[in-house]
């Protein structure tokens, strides 16, 4: 028979489509989507449909509770919307040997799994299964939040792994070593998001040709750097990000490891100390020939002498030749920026496509004249966000405009800054940045957008 006429292929195509039917209400632990109900009905119709339908039905699972749905004895608990797992299900016996075999038969179908801390109460029910048995031998994606049973869910077949702990809670002492041990068994990882790993695990990750993205959250419990460590370059990693209380851990990683293919770097810290700035940027400079997207965010800048952060001059001195997107965000007023600095930025990176510098300065130093002069250096700029002096307008609205043909998104101010002459601002945007869509921050700024709409309709002198 011609392959195009194979019944199994036709069924697989149909089932894949049915499985994608959208759910009516997303309640992953209890409510089945229309697609899942169709698959369950097909699986019960005849043996020819069963295996294909069940493979798709069990491919994506949210929680241990749904996994235990294959055990008939547990149906009153699993499918009760009023029942929740406690620390340990009271009066419920662990799986029998036959039930464990039934569970393992279906768990091998799972491709994507979400596990939360509340699922830990169900783990004792699986105690009959030997510790050396892999529960999910075909698992590809895991999202695990706070569970104390990493060894049950971290399969060596993982490609995408997300392990999350509440940053406000102390991670149990034994969890980080256990996490590192399990990650070292994974040889097919593509993306990894987790708390800090030990240096032996970093060394293992550097050898994986599949790994392209790493996210590290919180350095609490991170081991100190050992000078005798030798870690190979991460030849294939293109994205690296850190969320932490300070920049110290990220700086250590950048200082002692090489990322010759890194294209995207993201860091968000609670406090950025003035003493950390120079070592951090110096360590980041190893990526100046490849980095295309750079995001640096911090809640507080700590400088004993109360000097503004000179992050932009640091970046300019490093000559990031491939930079396409730059975002600096501060929750306090500390980024030094004026017309001259903005012009330097645009001149240094003429291929920029997005520039966002967000802070809470009361009196912005960049003017419309400075903005319009600088963006001419970046003809490919599509998105721009920055504090602009919207009170002291230094551009003649009646002057012959030099239009920027590419800018599409423009964000001018924070809620704390005044608007000034809304009509003059609207005319400047309409004439000089005709394709820009201004993003209003508060309702009281929307009249600027209204003026722009009026100008686009051809009415140039209407008073609102």
What CA–CA distance (Å, rounded) separates 253 from 228? 15
**pLDDT for res 279:** 93
Classify residue 309 by its DSSP letter. Answer: B
Is there a single domain that holds both residue 321 and residue 177? yes
Whether 63 maps to a domain, the answer reads no
Q: What is the pLDDT of residue 361?
A: 64
Kindly state the average pLDDT of the residues 380-385: 92
Q: What is the DSSP letter of 70?
A: G
Query: 208: closest CA among 187, 231, 191?
Result: 187
Q: Under a CB-based contact definition with an 8 Å cutoff, are residues 296 and 311 in contact?
A: yes
Domain presence at residue 272? yes
Residue corresponding to tokens 């392959």? 3
| Ramachandran angles phi, psi of 180, nearest 5° | -60, -40
Assess whether 306 and 422 both reside in one domain: no
- Under the banding of pLDDT at 50, 70 and 90, the label for residue 169 is low
Kindly write down the DSSP assignment for every residue of 95-151, as one continuous string: P-HHHHHHHHHHHTT--EEEEEGGGGGGGGGGTTS-TTS-S-TT--EEEEES-S-HH
In a domain, 56, yes or no: no
On whether the CB atoms of residues 115 and 158 are closer than 8 A, the answer is: no
Q: State mean pLDDT over 280-298.
A: 94
Q: Are residues 318 and 436 part of one domain?
A: no
Tell me the range of 74-78, 119-123, 205-209, 410-414 where mean pLDDT is highest: 205-209
pLDDT at 306 > cutoff 90: no
Question: Residues 6 or more apart from 86 whose CB is under 8 A from it?
Answer: 121
* 267 and 403 co-located in one domain: no
Find the CATH number of the domain harbouring 301. Answer: 3.80.10
Question: By the 8 A CB rule, do 372 and 344 touch?
Answer: no
Task: Clarify whether residues 461 and 418 are in a common domain.
Answer: yes
Given 284, 308, 336, the domain boundary residue is 336
- Least Cα distance to 408 among 385, 374, 425, 377 occurs for 385
pLDDT at 218 over 70: yes
| 460 and 319 housed in the same domain | no
Q: What is the DSSP letter of 225?
A: P
* Domain assignment of residue 48, yes or no: no
Q: Does 319 share its domain with 456?
A: no
Taking the C-alpha atoms of residue 415 and residue 443, their distance in angstroms, rounded to an integer, is 10
Same-domain status, 170 and 302: yes
More confident residue, 289 or 168: 289
| Lowest mean pLDDT segment, chosen from 304-313, 398-407, 455-464 | 455-464
Q: Is the pLDDT of residue 59 over 80?
A: yes
* Residue 82 in domain: no
Which position has the higher pLDDT, 179 or 189? 189
- For residue 185, what pLDDT band results from cuts at 50, 70 and 90? very high
Same domain? 298 vs 361: no
Q: Are residue 204 and residue 244 in the same domain, yes or no?
A: yes
Question: 385 and 325, same structural domain?
Answer: no
List the beta bridge partners of residue 265. Answer: 240, 294
Look at residues 307, 336, 365 and tell me which one is the last residue of a structural domain.
336
Positive or negative, the CA dihedral 145, 147, 150, 152 is negative
H or E stretch including 381? none
Specify which of 76-90, 378-392, 433-447 reaches the highest per-range mean pLDDT. Answer: 378-392
The whole domain housing 282 covers: 159-336
Q: pLDDT by residue (tens digit) across 97-140?
A: 999 999 999 999 999 999 887 777 788 888 899 988 999 999 99
Q: Do 378 and 352 touch, CB atoms closer than 8 A?
A: yes
- Across the strands, what pairs with 144? 115, 163
Task: Render pLDDT for 331-375 as a digit per residue (tens, 0 to 9).
Answer: 776 788 889 999 999 999 999 999 999 876 667 889 999 999 999
* DSSP letters for 311-350: HHHHHHHH--TT--EEEEEESSS-B---HHHHHHHHHH-T
If one counts the domains in the chain, the total is 2
So what's the pLDDT on residue 75? Answer: 83
Is 131 inside a domain boundary? no
Confidence at 440, pLDDT banded by 50, 70, 90: very low
Q: What is the mean pLDDT of the chain?
A: 80
Domain end point (choices 336, 357, 373): 336
Residue 141 lies in a domain: no
SS3 state at 177: helix
- What pLDDT shows up at residue 418? 59
pLDDT of the residue at 31: 52
pLDDT at 26: 35
Assigned domain for 301 exists: yes
Better-scored residue on pLDDT, 406 or 224: 406
352, 325: one domain? no
Are 115 and 147 spatial neighbours (Cβ–Cβ below 8 Å)?
Answer: yes
Percentage with pLDDT > 90 across the chain = 38
171 exposed, middle or buried (CB, 10 Å; 0-12, 13-18, 19+)? middle
- The reported pLDDT for the residue numbered 17 is 53
Q: Are 210 and 235 in contact (CB under 8 A)?
A: no
Cα 464 from chain centroid? 43
**Confidence bin at 215 (pLDDT 50/70/90):** very high
């Amino acid at each position: 028979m011609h392959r195009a006429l194979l019944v199994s292929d036709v069924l697989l195509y149909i089932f894949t489509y049915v499985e994608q039917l959208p759910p009516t209400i997303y309640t992953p632990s209890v409510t089945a989507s229309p697609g899942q109900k169709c698959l369950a009905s097909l699986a019960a119709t005849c043996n020819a449909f069963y295996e294909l339908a069940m493979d798709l039905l069990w491919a994506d699972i949210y929680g241990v509770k749904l996994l235990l749905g294959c055990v008939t004895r547990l149906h009153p608990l699993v499918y009760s919307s009023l029942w929740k797992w406690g620390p340990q299900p009271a009066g419920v016996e662990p799986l029998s040997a036959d039930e464990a075999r039934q569970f393992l038969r279906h768990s091998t179908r799972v491709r994507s799994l979400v596990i939360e801390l509340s699922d830990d109460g169900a783990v004792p029910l699986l105690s009959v299964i030997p510790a050396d048995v892999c529960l999910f031998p075909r698992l590809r994606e895991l999202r695990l939040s706070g569970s104390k049973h990493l060894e049950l869910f971290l399969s060596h077949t993982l490609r995408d792994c997300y392990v999350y702990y509440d940053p406000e809670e102390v991670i149990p002492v034994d969890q980080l070593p256990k996490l590192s041990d399990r990650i070292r068994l994974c040889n097919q990882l593509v993306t990894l998001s987790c708390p800090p790993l030990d240096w032996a695990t970093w060394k293992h990750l550097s050898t994986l040709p599949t790994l392209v993205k790493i996210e590290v959250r919180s350095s609490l419990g991170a081991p100190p750097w050992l000078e005798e460590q030798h870690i190979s370059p991460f030849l294939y990693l293109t994205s690296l990000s850190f969320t932490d209380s300070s920049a110290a851990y990220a700086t250590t990683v950048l200082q002692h490891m090489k990322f010759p293919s890194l294209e995207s770097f993201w860091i968000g810290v609670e406090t950025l100390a003035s003493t950390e700035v120079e070592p951090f940027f110096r360590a980041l400079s190893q990526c100046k020939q490849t980095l295309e997207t750079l995001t640096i965010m911090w809640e507080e800048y700590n400088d004993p002498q109360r000097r503004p952060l000179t992050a932009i001059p640091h970046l300019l001195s490093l000559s990031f030749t491939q930079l396409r997107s730059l975002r600096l965000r501060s929750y306090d007023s500390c980024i030094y920026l004026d017309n001259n600095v903005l012009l330097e930025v645009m001149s240094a990176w003429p291929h920029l496509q997005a520039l966002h510098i967000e802070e809470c300065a009361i009196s912005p130093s960049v003017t419309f004249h400075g903005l319009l002069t600088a963006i001419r250096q970046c003809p490919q700029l599509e998105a721009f966000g920055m504090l602009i002096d919207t009170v002291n307008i230094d551009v003649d609205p009646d002057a012959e405009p030099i239009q920027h043909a590419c800018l599409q998104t423009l964000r001018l101010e924070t809620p704390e800054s005044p608007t000034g002459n809304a009509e003059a601002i609207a005319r400047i945007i309409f004439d000089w940045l005709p394709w820009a869509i201004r993003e209003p921050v508060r309702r009281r700024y929307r009249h600027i957008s209204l003026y722009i709409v009026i100008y686009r309709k051809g009415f140039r002198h209407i008073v609102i």
